[in-house]
Amino acid sequence: MLTLEAEPDHDARVFSDIDFSGGAVVAISGGSDSTALLVLLNEFFRAHRPDAKLVAATVDHALRPASHDEALNVGSLCARLGTRHHIRVWEGTKPLGGVPAAAREARYRLLADVARAEGIGMVLTGHTADDQAETVTMRLDRSAAMVDEGRGLAGMAPATLFDGDIWIVRPLLGMRREALRDRLRTAGIGWIDDPTNEDRAYERPRIRSALDEQGFSSAMRVAAKAAGKRRDLDARTAALIGQFASRPATGLIRLDRAFADHRDREAATHALRLLLATTGGLAVLPDMERTGSLLDALATGALQRATLARVLVDARRGGIFLLREARGLPHPMQATDSLIWDGRYRIAFQNGNDTGIVIAPSGNRSRPAGALPPDVPESLVRAALAATPFVTPPGKNVAVAPVVSPFARFLPGFDLQSARVLAQLVDAAPVPAPPLPAIRKHGEMGRS
C-alpha cells in the first residue's frame, strides 16, 4: 500500500474538521500537491472514514500533447490506491488569450460535473500555502485589489461554493509544497511536473520564481489580516441588508431611507454594491467610488433618479427602490438547461432538454400579484416585472429561479453571511451548509 509517513495524527488534524459524510471528490492533476492530497486522503479515509465515498477526478485540459498520457498515469496511481478515477477532457476551441483563467473555469466546471454525477457535494483541491502566498503577491501587484478594500488580498478561501451547489475545499492551505514533496520522495511516489508551471510568459510562474521566504511570510500575514477584515465586513454588511432591504415585488428591492446615512459607511457602501450587482445581474461589484458617490447623493436627498450597474435607482419618500433598467435586456433566445439568464435567473429543465423553449423579457405580459403596499409605486413594480424572464410556450417543465448574481458562480466562504441574506431577499435557493465548521459558524453568526 502506498502511504506517506507523517508525525502522529498530523493528517487526521488536517482533515478531521471536514464533514465527509456525503463523500468527497479529490481533484488530482498528477502534480506534487494534488498527488500528496490524494494519498493523504486515501490514508485518512481508510483509517477514519471507511464508510465514506472517495472518488478521484483528473481534468485533461488538452493544451499539451502529453496531457492525455499524464491523465492515464494518474489513473494507474488511483488503481494502486483502490480509488475510483474519472478523466474529463476540456473540449472545444481554446481561447487565444486568458488561457489560465479559462482553464480554471473549465476545470471547476468539469470537476463539479463529476461530483454531481457521483451524488457528492464537495471537491477537494491541493492548493497549498505556497499557492496562497503567490495569489496574494499577484494581487498586491495589482492596484485594483488595494483600492477595493483589499478584499482580494484575503487570497483563496478555505472553501468556495461553485455554481450554487458544489463546495470547493482547500484543506492544504496551511501546508508547504516542499514538505509535501519530501513526503512523496520518502514514500517513493512520483509526480508530474507540468512545464506550464515554469513558463514565465504567465504571471504565476514569474511570481513563484521570485518569491523568497521573507516574501512568503509577508504575503501570508497580509492574507490572514485581510481575511479577518473581510469576514467582519461581511457580517456588518449582512446585518444592514437584513435590517433595511425588502422585496415588495419580484425584481424590485426597497431600501429604507435611513440606510443611506447609516453611520457604518463602509458596510453601507459594500451592501449597496452587492444589491446593485444582484439587481443588475452582474458578477463583478460596481466601482466602489461611484457607489460611494451615489450613497452620498441619496443621503443628502439630492438624488431622485440615477442608473448604475444596469440598475435604475429611484429615491422617493417611501424608500429607495432598485430595479433592473430596461436597456440592454437579452433578446429572445433558445433556453438551455443551467442557463443563467441576464445574470439574474437560472433556467433548469425538469424533464430533459427541450429545444422548443424560448426565453425573453416579460415586457407587459406580467402583472403585479395581489395588492401593493401603499408606498410602493405601481409604475416601478410594472417596470421591474417587465425585466423578468418569460418562457414560451407556457406550461413547459422549466424552472426559473433567481440567483445572487455576484455569487452565482463562485461564493467564497468569506462572504457567506451576505450571500445568505441576499438569497433570502431575492427568493433564491438557500446556500448549502459548508463542510468546514469555521466557515459554517461564520455563516450562522447573526442569524435568528
Question: What's the number of domains the chain is made of?
Answer: 2
Residue given cell 514565465 in the structure block: 200
Rounded to 10 deg, the angle between the 32-48 and 67-81 helix axes is: 20
Last residue of a domain, one of 173, 196, 228: 228
Last residue of a domain, one of 211, 228, 245: 228
Residue 147: predicted pLDDT: 45
Residue 364: predicted pLDDT: 85
Kind of pairing between the strands at 333-334 and 358-361: antiparallel
Same domain, 263 and 367: yes
User: Could you report how far apart the first and last alpha carbons of the chain are, in Å?
Assistant: 49
Q: Which of 209-218, 275-284, 346-355, 384-393 has the lowest mean pLDDT?
A: 346-355
Which of 89-98, 188-197, 304-313, 350-359 has maximum average pLDDT? 304-313
Same domain, 287 and 418: yes
- Residue 2: inside a domain: no
Same domain, 117 and 216: yes
Same domain, 29 and 141: yes
Same domain, 190 and 237: no
Same domain, 86 and 221: yes
Last residue of a domain, one of 197, 213, 228: 228
Give the C-alpha distances (Å, rounded to integers) separating 115 from 8, 108, 363: 31, 10, 38
To which H or E segment does residue 209 belong? helix 203-210
Output the pTM of the full model.
Answer: 0.92
Same domain, 196 and 264: no
State whether residue 156 is helix, strand or coil.
coil
- How high is the mean pLDDT of the chain? 91
Same domain, 190 and 252: no
Q: pLDDT digit string (tens) for 156-187?
A: 999 999 999 999 999 999 999 999 999 999 99
CB 283 within 8 A of CB 405: yes
- Residue 95: inside a domain: yes
Same domain, 307 and 406: yes
**With 70 as the cut, is the pLDDT of residue 447 above it?**
no
CB 67 within 8 A of CB 96: no
CB 4 within 8 A of CB 36: yes
Residue 10: predicted pLDDT: 59
Burial class (CB in 10 A: 0-12, 13-18, 19+), 137: buried
Same domain, 189 and 249: no
Of all residues in the chain, the percent with pLDDT exceeding 70 is: 92
Cα dihedral 252, 257, 260, 264 sign:
negative
Same domain, 59 and 160: yes
The range of the structural domain enclosing residue 46 comes to 10-228
The per-residue DSSP string of 255-299 comes to E-GGGGG-S-HHHHHHHHHHHHHHHHT-SSPPPHHHHHHHHHHHH
- Residue 1: inside a domain: no
Residue 438 CB coordination number (10 Å)? 13
**With 60 as the cut, is the pLDDT of residue 377 above it?**
yes
Order of strands, edge to edge, in the sheet holding 122-124? 84-89, 54-60, 24-27, 122-124, 166-169, 159-162, 410-412
Query: Could you tell me which residue, 286 or 11, shows the higher pLDDT?
Result: 286
